[in-house]
Chain A
Amino acid sequence: MQRIGVFVCWCGSNIAGTVDVQAVSDALKNEPGVVFSTNYQYMCSQAGQDMIINAVKEHNLTGIVVCSCSPRMHEATFRRTAQAAGLNPYMVEIANIREQCSWVHKDIPTGTEKAIILGKAAVAKVNLNTPLTPGESPVTKRALVIGGGIAGIQTALDIADAGFPVDIVEKKPTIGGKMAQLDKTFPTLDCAACILTPKMVDVAQNDKIRIFSYSEVTDVKGFVGNFDVTIKKNARYVKEDICTGCGACVEKCPMKKVPNEFNLGMDNRSAIYIPFAQAVPKVATIDPNACNMLKNGKCGLCARVCAAGAIDYTQKDEYIEEKYGAIVVATGFNPISMDKFDEFAYNQSKDVITSLEFERLTNAAGPTAGKLLRPSDGKHPHTIVFVQCVGSRCDACAEKGKEYCSKICCMYTAKHAMLTRDKYPDTDVYVFYIDVRTPGKNFDEFYRRAVEEYGVHYVKGMVGKVVPEGDKLKVQASDLLENKQLHIDADLVVLAAAIEPDKSARPLATMLTASMDTNDFFTEAHPKLRPVESPTAGVFLSGACQGPKDIPETVSQAGAAASKVIGLLAKDKLTGNPCIAHSNELMCNGCSSCERVCPYGAITYEDKEFRMPDRTTLVRRIAVVNPAVCQGCGACTVACPSGAMDLHGFASGQIMAEVDAICK
């Protein structure tokens, strides 16, 4: 028989506000096995923990029930407390009477009744608990970073700086991401290339970092410390180690009419191309959908002009398998499609552009060499209308756009407006806004400068319709402060399109068993206290894959993710989770049901000899769980038709005892 102590936490008024904690500790005192029961204001505090330790010693406790917040919050804390008191940490059970009780109930009688029931269930379980000892697993001291934008670059550099090898997998032919496409960066207006490209070079020159460009992750197996990852290196038809990036092939390629994705289709590139001058790796890539040689065997010019002999039309996709201890997701974002917002005539006029396109139009390396010219006729625009929140902050029932604020648009629009007025004082610049959101160091000052020093017209209101007519864009808008409808003849309209996670994120999350929210942003383990970790152990988050972020925030988060990875890789061994599956070999009939459902590949089979009562022997196939690989998800215990599979710490008997206690 266990000797159980019950400790009911008030959590200040969080629990005590809707639960009569005294009644709970009194009621649980009478449960079988309970020899001590009390309540206290903050059980997780030093005084609270000391109370538990003293009670264990004084009453010879063998098990502990803490009625408090979610086990995700403090289970680890109280397990450490138990250990300090000389108990096995797995003799602790948490009854969640906060998130699942006091926070969701409004009146004290209901809250108290439910808290008592939850406490009884925990007591019933502890009565059946047994001490558990976790196993250990080794750590592969190498990290994988998926995505080579500024988030991935910074994370990789920081991990490498601590001495651990890092691989970056980037699906584009070069690293650099969205930041490489930007012109200037707010709020200091330093040029994006000037601060990004040195980092890209650092990555290329760092002997701890390998770059898999034009590559993608196709399979992930294993678990924290021991991931087995398959990387597909797409055939680029150029030998990466031989190509010098001289660009002779690009110059000679006769197929020059391929929309240039780096400039968002506003100019063309050749079929063999280097995305931009500072690309890393600076090697050419052949676009198989555009190259005549690859499509119909007619051409071969690039191979003839390549002095290094780097062109290889027969190159095949290559699959690489590698082991990693930690994985960082840095898959970034994209602006949403403007197809559902054609009241702004994006698909009807070349002079209606997105903000990212505006970046390219003002970038010295862009399609107009940095001169702000209209895409339709190459003329200098004199009236420019910026529209904020296009597709952001939409209600779900509007069936288009995103519900969230995209966060970066207010600042980059202020930047675009300011820079336009600075470079072309003869332009009239209007910004239509719903709210101007500028929380950030020196952000609001920046926006005010756009208004006060640069004379940008900020209008509280929205654009309702853009009508291309002649060489003008007739903009119909509201000015809510003046209570007027405005009609502006504009030359250029710039849409601050909402941003969304990259499309590769969803399948990647499935591979990683990492959770996502309804918008396909990766979910963090805790929104405040563990913002750079995925709930899946060993998977970390960097940059806009977790939520809209500007560059300063992305770089901070990238560094934070790196420090978490370093903390993991610095360990030689990881303490495992003892709550794992085990098979009762006498009941197992080797049917393979468990193997089929195991997401971790932790179950194998072996033939074992059994001695029968009549002294004969029988060889039977039985399931064996690899304790280093099992993550204790419990899928096998449900799939097992004979009841042979069970989970340490969550045994069927324990669960049923809890259910019985609740239903009694």
Chain B
Amino acid sequence: MNNKYLYEDLLRMSGVNPKKCMRCGKCSATCPAYDEMEYHPHQFVSMVENGDIEPLLNSDSLYKCLTCFACVDRCPRGVEPAKLVEAVRLAAVRKQGANHLKADSVPDMLDDETPQQLIVSAFRKYSK
């Protein structure tokens, strides 16, 4: 595993133990953003476990997770895949200049009804 440091950091941040996964795929069965994702929740778990983290860091899938916690609640093994996705996303956006959402692009995304909550949440998720 050439990503040992990152691997351990992800586990520490997320509190997830990917070894508990029994490969049932219920997380991906329940995921509302599945079709938009290149890598699906169960792949996040197995790829992190195998140290295959680089493709995840560069994938748009990081920004498709809705953090709806459906996979967290429905996982029979208590793996909590969403927390792992979040940790990988933070590992990506915490880097200098790696913000996924730039303030300049926001005004075009708004309409008259956009609630403040939407903007705040998107920034929390996509930028550091």
Residues on A lying within 8 angstroms of B by beta carbon are 343, 389, 393-398, 401, 434, 460-465, 476-480, 483, 485
Contacts and interface: CB of A to CB of B under 8 A. Distances in A.
A395 B20 contact: yes
A401 B42 contact: no
B29 A460 contact: no
10 contacts: A389-B76, A394-B77, A398-B75, A434-B23, A461-B29, A462-B25, A465-B29, A476-B30, A479-B25, A485-B28
A401 B25 contact: no
A117 B23 CA distance: 47
Contacts, number: 70
Nearest to A434: B24
A478 B20 contact: no
A394 B21 CA distance: 10
B125 interface: no
Contact of A464 (B22, B30, B77): B30
A464 B29 CA distance: 4
A395 B40 contact: no
A485 B35 contact: yes
A358 B68 CA distance: 33
Point out which of A396, A397, A462 has the most chain B C-beta atoms below 10 A from its C-beta.
A462
B41 to A, nearest CB: 9
Given A478-B42, A480-B23, A485-B31, A393 B76 contact: yes
B26 interface: yes
- Tell me which of B35, B43, B74 has the highest count of chain A C-beta atoms within 10 A of its own C-beta: B74
Contacts of B27: 464
A478 B77 contact: no
A260 to B, nearest CB: 32
B70 interface: yes
A397 B78 contact: yes
Given A393-B77, A479-B25, 13 more contacts: A394-B77, A395-B20, A395-B77, A398-B76, A398-B77, A401-B76, A462-B25, A464-B29, A476-B29, A478-B28, A480-B23, A483-B40, A485-B29
Contacts of B42: 478, 480
Q: Which of B23, B24, B31, B35 has the largest count of A CB atoms less than 10 A from its CB? A: B24
Given A478-B25, A478-B42, A464 B74 contact: yes
Contacts of A460: 25
Contact of B25 (A393, A396, A397, A480): A480
Interface in B26-58: 26-31, 34-35, 40, 42-43
A464 B76 CA distance: 11
Contacts of B34: 478, 485
